[in-house]
Amino acid sequence: MINLPKLEEKQVAPRQIRKLVKYKSDNATDEIFPQLKQTESGRYLIQVDKQTKASYETAEAAQSAALEIKKGHPIVRVSIFDSVEHSSRLVELLS
């Protein structure tokens, strides 16, 4: 049988756990709002790298806004999503 040396036991300081306390307030301004921004109600949604950024009622307005984003940031993927037809169109700069 192999004899192994005994290991020393070390005492570890107890960990303090703090709990968050929520206080109820009578003010309506202290109410917590959801972090996610609700999308606007336009038909055409501009998506930058698959994240919705804005919505427009007409395809022309969405196309012009998407082109401005693409001109300023040519590397990102800009697309226009039609929420009625459930189709997406990629916006590219013409050389």
Residue 79 is predicted with a pLDDT of: 97
Q: Where in the chain are the domains?
A: 40-91
In angstroms, the CA 80 to CA 56 distance is 10
Kindly give, in sequence order, each residue whose CB lies less than 8 Å from that of residue 69, ignoring residues fewer than 6 positions away: 46, 48, 53, 76, 78
Q: In whole angstroms, give the CA distance from residue 47 to residue 90.
A: 9
For residue 57 the two structure tokens come to: 């009622």
Per-residue pLDDT tens digits of the chain, which is 95 residues long: 788 788 788 887 888 888 777 666 655 555 555 666 555 678 999 999 999 999 999 999 999 999 999 999 999 999 999 999 999 999 999 86
Q: Are 77 and 49 in contact (CB under 8 A)?
A: yes
Tokens of 15: 């960990």
